[in-house]
Structure 1
């Protein structure tokens, strides 16, 4: 027994306390750092969800919370606001957590390889070359992700919003860090890269406004139009759906433009987001009914169209048709003259014949 213990190989504690211990410490440190970063990101995401970044934490049921105050300002339900912010915070937190985990893991792997006496200089050099190549080849992809990240942080739009992204105008069906999917009025689904979005027009964030350009003839005074607007508003209030969509009473901005037939009066109504079009249709329908009850007609633009038929001498049939048209014009002129109506404009044949007679008379005088 003593011989076996003496002849047994000794454990190299120096080696175990050297590289393996440092590798274990690196791995544990990477795990702890990743957990700390995720906790920090989670707190940041919670602050984004509550809209209290850089301020003290407030209870959601408090009347002074950000959700309640924004609801009072915009007319949107606090639950909708909280859901929207929670979705935005979830997207931000997921992306930041993934980026933090990848960076920490790569650094930890390089440190472990260095402890195992691997030459990581070629790896770093290769990584630098790959980084330069990606910087040139994938710069559009990086631009898309950065643009999407700031869109999420700034809450420029979200799923369900009606936006104007330039050529794509419609409802947002999907919103990611790389691209945005927008469904337009015709049903076409547009996939727009976030890096290509230069400006965003959100038609349903906060509140909206129904803008109506109403043509009114000059016989209807502004006071009469105000009375009509009040009557139309009272009729619209009977519909609970339309009444709940309106945040303020209609505002008459005044005369927007003038023409020979009518003047255009601009009327504006502040509404809840995405409901301005419903309020516009309801207002136009009630306004038309009120005009009919009062006997007010929508002014019509007066237009006069003059037509002339050129004489064609290419075929005998065309000559016969031209003569028939001349006889019809002559009969029409005679009938209008007998009826003491306004004299019509001279036809092309009459102008040509007058010009020919004038030329013949001049030639006779000269001879």
Structure 2
């Protein structure tokens, strides 16, 4: 009889404690798999273009629609980054809840554990404020698509081409080849030279005795030829404009010409236009003032 009761109690305990723990673990694994599958599906569709109809009107749908409007490589990188972040958050949340439930099934006091975890979390939060700030800034930068790999950006003390965008650090390389590692939490403003379009602004200073009508006509003709007949015609996306006299400097009048270009091509267009304009000015006898430099080879 005692043996029967012992077997019954053992079976009851096995079904009551280890069985429940195993069931919670299995449910956590299944729920994690479903969450990852859902995240992979929506980020995969976002990387290819269309947004799932069930999310179209939600905040996630707005983000994914914006994601789909960018270039393929840029879109894929953002989708992968956000997918990795969402999967990590989902796994952490599911397993945290599952472990707390398992401890409760085993009869361990949960309240002190939660209280201690809360105190520890507050302490870590105060001690890692900079790290948390960097991660939050990185998440919002990716969500808002402020910049991506390959963009030319200016973040204040550093500027250059973005080589990597992480949740904590952005890596960019400047024109001299120096690699800069910038913490995302330190970036207060970003100037992006690579989004949608750029503009070449050419300010030419001519002597005050120059024929300004002739100057503007030459600028108009050369910028028009550059946009239609040169190898750069494909990157000039709108009709060039000569805005006229911009200001008066001590050396002469400044005449401005602007050309709307594809991103990252404004410097190439500017250099080509300067060469053309200088050659035409020489032919027309239009003088570009220059500051008198001191003689070289010694001091007076």
Q: Shorter-chain TM-score: which interval?
A: 0.7 to 0.9
Cα deviation for residue 199 of structure 1 reads 0.9
Q: Secondary structure at the match of 1:265?
A: strand
Partner of 1:143: 133
Q: Could you tell me how far apart the structure 2 residues matched to 1:128 and 1:183 are?
A: 41
Unpaired segments ≥5 residues, structure 2: 58-64, 295-300
Count how many residue pairs are aligned between Structure 1 and Structure 2.
280
Greater relative contact order: 1 or 2 (C-alpha under 8 angstroms, separation 6 or more)? 2
Could you report, residue by residue, the CA deviation over 1:79-129 in whole angstroms, capped at 9, with x for unpaired residues?
x71211111111011011012112211221221122122233443232122
Q: Secondary structure at the match of 1:206?
A: coil
Assess, with a 3 A threshold, how the Cα gap between structure 1 residues 47 and 253 changes in structure 2: closer, same or farther. farther
Are the counterparts in 2 of residues 67 and 82 from structure 1 also a CA contact under 8 Å? Answer: no
Cα deviation for residue 255 of structure 1 reads 1.4
Assess, with a 3 A threshold, how the Cα gap between structure 1 residues 110 and 55 changes in structure 2: closer, same or farther. closer
Are the counterparts in 1 of residues 219 and 257 from structure 2 also a CA contact under 8 Å? Answer: no
Unpaired segments ≥5 residues, structure 1: 1-5, 57-64, 71-79, 305-367
Partner of 2:229: 238
Are the counterparts in 2 of residues 210 and 280 from structure 1 also a CA contact under 8 Å? Answer: yes
Partner of 2:298: none
Partner of 1:30: 28
Could you report, residue by residue, the CA deviation over 1:128-160 in whole angstroms, capped at 9, with x for unpaired residues?
221011110011111111110111111100011
Q: Could you tell me how far apart the structure 1 residues matched to 2:5 and 2:108 are?
A: 32
TM-score normalized by the length of structure 1: 0.69
Are the counterparts in 2 of residues 51 and 85 from structure 1 also a CA contact under 8 Å? Answer: no
Partner of 2:56: 55
Which protein shows a greater Rg? Answer: 1
Could you report, residue by residue, the CA deviation over 1:37-68 in whole angstroms, capped at 9, with x for unpaired residues?
22332344246533758538xxxxxxxx9899
Q: Secondary structure at the match of 1:114?
A: helix
Could you report, residue by residue, the CA deviation over 1:286-344 in whole angstroms, capped at 9, with x for unpaired residues?
1111111222221245799xxxxxxxxxxxxxxxxxxxxxxxxxxxxxxxxxxxxxxxx
Partner of 2:147: 157
Q: Could you tell me how far apart the structure 2 residues matched to 1:257 and 1:7 are?
A: 104
Q: Secondary structure at the match of 1:247?
A: coil
RMSD: 2.8
Q: State whether structure 2 residue 162 is matched by structure 1 residue 176.
A: no
Cα deviation for residue 214 of structure 1 reads 0.8
Partner of 2:123: 133
Partner of 1:334: none
Partner of 1:15: 13
Cα deviation for residue 204 of structure 1 reads 0.9
Q: Could you tell me how far apart the structure 1 residues matched to 2:67 and 2:20 are?
A: 49
Q: State whether structure 2 residue 176 is matched by structure 1 residue 186.
A: yes
Partner of 2:262: 272
Cα deviation for residue 182 of structure 1 reads 1.6
Higher mean Cα deviation, 228-237 or 171-180?
Answer: 228-237
